[in-house]
Amino acid sequence: MASRIQIPATKYPVERFTLANGLRVVLSPDRSAPVVGVAVVYDVGIRSEPEGRTGFAHLFEHLMFQGSENLEKLAHFRHVQGAGGSFNGSTHLDYTDYFEVLPAGALERALFLEADRMRGPRLTEENLRNQVDVVKEEIRVNVLNRPYGGFPWLKLPPVMFKTFPNAHDGYGSFEDLESATVEDAQGFFDRYYACGNAVLSVAGDFDVAEATALIEKHFGDVPSRPAPVLPAFDEPDLDGERRESYTDHIAPLPAVAAGYRVPDPIAAFDAYLPFSVLAEVLTDGDASRLVERLVQRDRSVTNIGGYLGFMGDEYQVRNPTALLLQAHMPPEGDAGKVLRTIDEELDRLAADGLKPGELERTQTRMAARLLQSTDEVLGRALPMAVLELQRGRPGLLNELPRLINEVTAEQIVAAAATLRPERRAVVEVTPGAGA
């Protein structure tokens, strides 16, 4: 029997406080390298956008880079890059983030820039129309004119879910995007981009007292607005397999994806965590269960992957979410056969348990990836901000390697037993004549 490798918790310091206007702040100082990461995360994402405004959360992320009441368009870019830094933002199911990585001496510059656009982005008809066109082009490039575009993160939710927040196209329809108005944008900002609905996180080379003073200086007078009530995203569990297929005219090979409902990642985190490890047991590396069976032995798929969360952010997502398995098949591939084989392997795991060393190998690889990701300042600033936003627990980032290591073989087996055909949604991709 393999001995359990002990993986300790990391010890990145965490300081938390809240400004008078409601902005939550997380600080994680580390003087080992002269660099800082700054992240601002707002508690609004794809699931929060209103009906008739699909894609609006992502569109608004673009608008936040188009200048502010005090700075002209592109000024944010110039100020960050001029200091030797980099920046970006991204829209997720449950949050939107904005971030910079800069030399430590430029911390105040990043704080000023984020506070400036938190007061109000430059919402004009010109900026709106321009960014609608930019987002539409993104959809053409990333979805409409790309093989497997939107597979499975856009294609599977409407099969698995029935409610608008969970099922709609988060990239947005052209019709909804084109009908957006400046008034819509201002209303979205007023509702969701409030101090009370955001978290500021700073990680890296800074003095806590000095950083706190700078944060008070730049964010302290941002007008106070409370956080909106979080919408209910509740969704009934599946009571039978749901299955759909579609033709992708530029896909070279058939593909299939299956999503299984899993426990609430926040309210039932102890029950959720084994599914994170299970996904890796099934698909991580040549020795994993499904790679060994489907790729190497049966040759019924060319590749297969497994993960939690439709956008892969397994520890930064709310309920409902899913464990996803996705595979590409040879030209004459049979999705039904692939799914039956997956069922066989899950049944075998539930019946026979794990092989010697299988769990330890998986946990070690998972912990190593987590430890590597937190080496960079942004790998601490961003997840700590989201963990504070969703759980009030940014220090969970330190605990994750140890918690993963503590998942037991019995928990993995029990999790595998719940992945039944009647609790999954399936999407098949059929290549078209143009493939």
At 7-62, the pLDDT tens digits run 778 899 999 999 999 999 999 999 999 999 999 999 999 999 999 999 999 999 99
**Residue-wise pLDDT tens digits, 332-355:** 999 999 999 999 999 999 999 999
Same CATH topology for 15-219 and 242-431: the answer is yes
What is the widest separation between alpha-carbon atoms in the chain?
A: 67
Q: What percent of the chain has pLDDT over 70?
A: 98
Domain ranges of the chain: 15-219, 242-431
**Residue-wise pLDDT tens digits, 72-110:** 999 999 999 999 999 999 999 999 999 999 999 999 999
Taking residue 86's Cβ as centre, other Cβ atoms within 10 Å add up to 11
pLDDT of residue 8: 77
* Tokens 């001995």, located at residue: 3
pLDDT of residue 9: 81
**Residue-wise pLDDT tens digits, 272-293:** 999 999 999 999 999 999 999 9
**431 sits in which H/E element:** strand 424-431
Tell me the pLDDT band of 375, cut-offs 50, 70 and 90. very high
Domain 242-431 has CATH 3.40.720.10: no
Asked if the model's pLDDT at residue 6 lies above 80, the reply is no
- 412: closest CA among 352, 341, 368, 367? 352
**78 sits in which H/E element:** helix 75-82
- 174: closest CA among 55, 73, 319? 55
Residue 268 half-sphere exposure toward CB, CA atoms < 13 A: 10
- Average pLDDT over the chain, rounded to an integer: 95
Tell me the pLDDT band of 4, cut-offs 50, 70 and 90. low
- 81: closest CA among 124, 53, 113? 113
Whether the Cβ atoms of residue 409 and residue 365 lie closer than 8 Å to each other: no
**Residue-wise pLDDT tens digits, 176-199:** 999 999 999 999 999 999 999 999
Q: Is 55 left (phi over 0), alpha (psi -120 to 50) or beta?
A: left
* Average pLDDT rounded to a whole number, residues 382-400: 97
> Rounded to an integer, what distance in angstroms lies between the CA atom of residue 390 and that of residue 187?
23
Does residue 242 sit in helix, strand or coil?
strand
**Residue-wise pLDDT tens digits, 211-247:** 999 999 999 999 999 899 988 899 999 999 999 999 9
Architecture of domain 15-219: 2-Layer Sandwich (3.30)
Whether the Cβ atoms of residue 324 and residue 257 lie closer than 8 Å to each other: yes
> Rounded to an integer, what distance in angstroms lies between the CA atom of residue 49 and that of residue 169?
11
Residue 349 half-sphere exposure toward CB, CA atoms < 13 A: 29
Asked if the model's pLDDT at residue 435 lies above 50, the reply is no
Who contacts 195 (Cβ-Cβ below 8 Å, separation ≥6)?
Answer: 19, 21, 22, 23, 118, 219, 222, 223, 224, 225
**322 sits in which H/E element:** strand 322-328
